[in-house]
Chains A and B, each alone.
Chain A
Amino acid sequence: MDELIIGGQKLTSRFFLGTGKFASKKIMRETIAQSGAQVVTVALRRVDIQQNAENFLNFIPQNVQILANTSGARQADEAVRIARLSQAAGLGNWVKIEVINDSKYLLPDDQETLKATEILASEGFVVLPYVTPDLYTARALVKAGAAAVMPLGALIGSGQGLQTKYLLEILRQEITETPLIVDAGLGAPSQAAAALEMGFDAVLVNTAVSLAADPVEMARAFGLAAQAGRAAYLAGKMPAGNAQASSPLTGFLHNE
């Protein structure tokens, strides 16, 4: 069985789902339940700590792993605080570090993310940092104890797919000791399949699902695409190339 192991937990689905932007919490719940996703992100800033009937958490199925995200944090110390608070609120110890200090592009602040990862990993959190696909950052995060590294494929919400492909390829070649998950920017299942074909361990998707005309079906499609991409990767894709004469450089030797 081809499993992905993160924080000691075995996962069979390589499709992670974000829970923002849905038309209603009921649709969100239905989508999670039908998608096959075993990991879903939850923004603590959306969680009503006072626990009323509308509380977001009441709409998350019991059997999924919650990955609390620190959205809203602008510095490492805030991300750390949010992680601790979410643990105290019963969301568990899986945390996606999201530190954004640019409201125009929503790009992650890698330096602050690294600082938060160092602190939280040392406290025993299962830390999944969201970063730009920068090799130095990824290496440092692995060293800091990240359970997986989550580079962006394109700007959040853009649906542009794997715009950072060349950098992602470098990360995949160099970072082999820790799972890599493409997070942000994926707009279509084919892009998720492409990420898995490249050897990425999983994908995290939100907007492309929540804004689909039928989010449940779209989530299912992403789940299948992740499976297909993974199967292709394991099967060993043939190298791409152009059609050419069989021995263009050395054929003359045999043409006597």
Chain B
Amino acid sequence: MSNTKNITICNTLCNTEILAIFNDHDPALLEQLAQEAQKITRRYFGRTISLYAPLYLSNHCANQCVYCGFHASLKIPRRKLNEQEIEAEYQALAHAGIQSILLLTGESRQHTPPEYLEAALKAAKKYFANIALEVYPLETEEYARLNAAGCDGVTIFQETYDQARYKILHPAGKKSNYAYRYDAPRRIALGGLRQITLGVLLGLADWRQDILALHAQLRSLEKEFPGVDYAISFPRLRGTYDYKEKNYLVSDAELVKIICVTRILFPRIGINLSTRESASFRDRAVHFGVTKISAGSSTAVGGYAGLGASPACPPDRAVLENAPQFAVNDERSVAAVKAMLEKQGFDPVFTDWRCLAA
């Protein structure tokens, strides 16, 4: 790929050309991509960055993803929040100024059935403007029910689109059904949800192929459901468990390239960056493509109120210290992330979408 290639026409590039960009290690090309991505992001999102926080309702999981700290056969303290504890978590987060939350569970239909999620959503409506879920894949009618209960969006990661790797990484449990998971975004859209976040877990397989496949899925969804707001997350694998596979790790430069190329190909989609990434990486990524970042995150069940905010939910040290799903890499508070954004010339936005359904 020559550096003089006009990358503004990337959205007309074929996969071979995109792969050529992926495989070109010229720093000048990377800079060119970043500049273009920045221009596009500014055009559609201006200087605003949305803030959200993840909230883990449960760490029960029936699956055996070999890379995950919640993995069913791991002997970790399992816990799911009861109604009171959920309320306490909501209060703690709302108190920190968070208006947009992502509710997560491990993938256990048995411990966190749709009714449980429904109740959590209904309770969340009192506190938050925007509520999304990241849970096991559901049926269309179930998504419709969750929509009616106040769910604005659903996040579902395919993890990897490499089917051979997928099989190795998800040896047992419902999650081993690749096709059922792949079809989940369609069911989410058919269920009436407005926001769908897709993603791959970088580090599980060859990222180049994964990103191409992710883009292809997104293109076909855009065509079938043009009214949905799409977003993408690119979490990089961070070990909390003894997953030793190092062959597929993604470098900082590669992640930058992934974000920039995705932005150029999909000018209007949201791009999220979680606290898996370091503070220094996040501080820079907001300049060229990222539009939404989590802040003040805890990835442990009960992690917000448990850290001392509420007498209703005393800290459970065992859970807090031993069993987050992954290690947080940017531990700054919501206020600190907000201050960082302001310092860098951004407007941190807490309310950017509210469902006004009757």
Contact = CB atoms under 8 A, between A and B. Distances in A.
Given A85-B356, A103-B226, A45 B351 contact: yes
Given A21-B47, A22-B47, A81 B227 contact: no
Band of interface residues on B: 20 to 34
A103 B227 CA distance: 6
B268 A103 contact: yes
B350 A23 contact: no
Nearest to B266: A104
A156 to B, nearest CB: 8
B148 interface: no
A22 B222 contact: no
Contacts of A20: 46, 48
B233 interface: no
Q: Is the interface of A mostly helix, strand, loop or mixed?
A: loop
Given A21-B46, A159-B43, A211-B42, A103 B353 contact: no
A242 B44 CA distance: 40
B284 interface: no
Contact of A103 (B228, B342, B358): B228
Nearest to B355: A72
Contacts of B229: 103
A72 B356 contact: yes
A21 B48 contact: yes
A46 B351 contact: yes
Contact of A21 (B45, B97, B194, B354): B45
B256 interface: no
Band of interface residues on A: 20 to 34
Given A21-B48, A102-B226, A48 B356 contact: no
Contacts of A72: 353-354, 356
A35 interface: no
Given A103-B268, A211-B42, A48 B345 contact: no
Contact of B347 (A24, A85, A158): A24
Contacts of B129: 48-49
Contacts of A158: 43
Contacts of B346: 23
B327 interface: no
Interface in A145-159: 157-159
A165 interface: no
B264 to A, nearest CB: 14
B342 A102 contact: no
A54 interface: yes
A74 interface: yes
Contact of A23 (B43, B44, B230, B347): B347
A46 B352 contact: yes
Contacts of B347: 22-25
Interface string A18-56: 001111110000000000000000001111110010101
Query: Which 8 A-B pairs rank lowest in CB-CB distance, beginning with the nearest?
Result: A21-B46, A23-B47, A101-B227, A102-B226, A48-B351, A157-B43, A23-B345, A74-B227
8 contacts: A20-B48, A25-B347, A46-B349, A48-B99, A49-B354, A56-B351, A103-B227, A103-B269
